[in-house]
Structure 1
Amino acid sequence: MNILLISGSPRKKGNTEMLLEFCSQEVEIRGIKTDLVCLSDKIIHHCKGCNKCRDRDNCILQDDFNRLYRQVLDYDGLVIGTPVYVGMPTSLIMAFIQRLTMVAFNNGRSLSGKFGGGFAIGGEAGQLAAITDLIKFFLVNNMVVIGSDYWNIGFATKKGDIMENDKSLKYIENFAENLLNHVKLMEG
């Protein structure tokens, strides 16, 4: 069983990446392999809605998306993290998940049955709106959404704040435990 974690932050080594690295550690100590991809050094264009991906299992736009799409398909689960900018996920992660949805939908719903979850990290507000967008992505792709004992959110304003937020870290620990329980159910 393996999980791909994707940071939708345009900032390298910021709070979103730190929280996903913590999540990766929590999941791996439970025996599940993980890899982390940061979109900060990727070029992801916005979906044009052209439907040229239909029955070709890739997007016609020339950027880093198709390689990432193939990578997502190689994993059993997907965890997405985004910082909250002006009350919503970053445009970078939205471009990625919208294209991912379009290509998967047009090619046999290739994400169907995978499992995952999302995390939203912000200063004061907007995390719930952002997490709702991520949950809609998982649901429209017929994926199983894993939660925690509360919303998968974090609070941070300055770089590194997230690792001092005990509540946020506890949400991640609970998420990892729920993920393990789901894996056990899947494996019978």
Structure 2
Amino acid sequence: MGMMIISGSPRKDGNTDLLLSILDLELQKNNISTEFISLSDKKINHCTNCEKCNGINKCIQNDDFNNLYNKILNNKGIVIGSPVYVGAPTSLIMAFIQRLTYVSFNNSNTLSKKIGGPIAVGGENGQLTTINCLVDFYLVNEMIIPGSTYWNIGVGVHKGDIEKDEKGKSYIKRFAQNLAWLMKEIEE
């Protein structure tokens, strides 16, 4: 069992994907298997709170959600990254995590005890608001979040700017090391 890494950026190979790829590489260096998924090419509808997922452990909507949900269930952890859009996570990632939460709640809390955490990338500000919103997702689903030497954030406006953010990259590397350590400790 490994770590799912999910990018909520609608831009493939942008700063969010680049920062998540640093996490991905560091996890692999620490012998953690990973799967990186970008939601940029996925169809994820909004949750309608229909409650029809109750007891069937899937969503009744016909899009890419159930395939991703099954992958998450088959892994020990999930890291979610989002760029800052108008001071918050993207609507794409919000639709995804809201559906994850409802399906999990309605099926004996299937996300409980998974390991992970959020990553946010923004140009000037909004990273902490985005992180806090995503942390709420982890906490309400009873998931375990290790820390880092600072918030899991990066700064970048234009594509590739994140490569110059040495502090941001160091926070993500340390976060990955702590994720790997925690996963190994729990498996023992």
**TM-score of the two chains, using structure 2 as the length reference:** 0.98
By how many angstroms is 1:180 displaced? 2.0
Partner SS for 1:145: coil
- Give the aligned partner of residue 134 of structure 1: 134
- Runs of 4+ more than 3 Å apart: none
What residue is the counterpart of 1:78 in the other structure?
Answer: 78
Aligned to 1:53: 53
3-state SS, counterpart of residue 175 of structure 1: helix
Counterpart residue number, 1:119? 119
2:109 corresponding residue in structure 1? 109
- The alpha-carbon deviation at position 183 of structure 1 amounts to 1.9
Q: CA deviation at 1:97?
A: 0.2
Rounded Cα–Cα distance in structure 2 between residues aligned with 1:99 and 1:108: 15
Counterpart of 2:40 in 1: which secondary structure? helix
Q: May I ask how many residue pairs the two structures share in their alignment?
A: 188
**Aligned twin of 1:65:** 65
What's the CA shift for 1:173? 1.1
Letter in 2 for 1:73: L
| Alpha-carbon distance between aligned partners in 1 of 2:164 and 2:29, rounded to the nearest angstrom | 21
On the 8 A contact 2:43/2:64 being kept in 1, the answer is yes
User: Letter of the aligned partner of 2:15 in structure 1?
Assistant: N
- The C-alpha deviation readout for 1:75-119, integer Å capped at 9, x for no partner, is 100000000011000000000000000001100100101100110
Aligned amino acid, residue 31 of structure 1: N
Supply the distance in 2 between the matched residues of 1:72 and 1:14 (Cα, whole angstroms). 23
SS in 2 for 1:162: helix
The secondary structure found in structure 2 opposite 1:112 is coil
Matched, 1:88 2:88: yes
Gap regions ≥5 residues in structure 2:
none
**Alignment map for 1:1-188 (pairs within 5 Å):** 1-188=1-188
Partners of 1:71 and 1:185 in 2: CA distance: 22
**Secondary structure of 1:154's partner?**
strand
Distance in structure 2 (CA, Å) of the matches to 1:50 and 1:111: 20
Matches of 1:187 and 1:36 in 2, distance apart?
Answer: 22
For 2:21 and 2:155, the matched residues in 1 are separated by 16
What percent identity do the matched residue pairs reach?
A: 53
Shift of 1:187: 2.5
The gaps in structure 1 that reach 5 residues or longer are: none
Does the 8 Å contact 2:115/2:183 carry over to 1? Answer: no
* CA distance, structure 1, for counterparts of residue 100 and residue 146 of structure 2: 19
Distance 1:63 1:35 in 2: 20
Q: Cα RMSD over matched residues?
A: 0.8
Counterparts of 1:187 and 1:39, CA distance in 2: 29
Separation (CA, whole Å) in 2 of partners of 1:147 and 1:184: 16
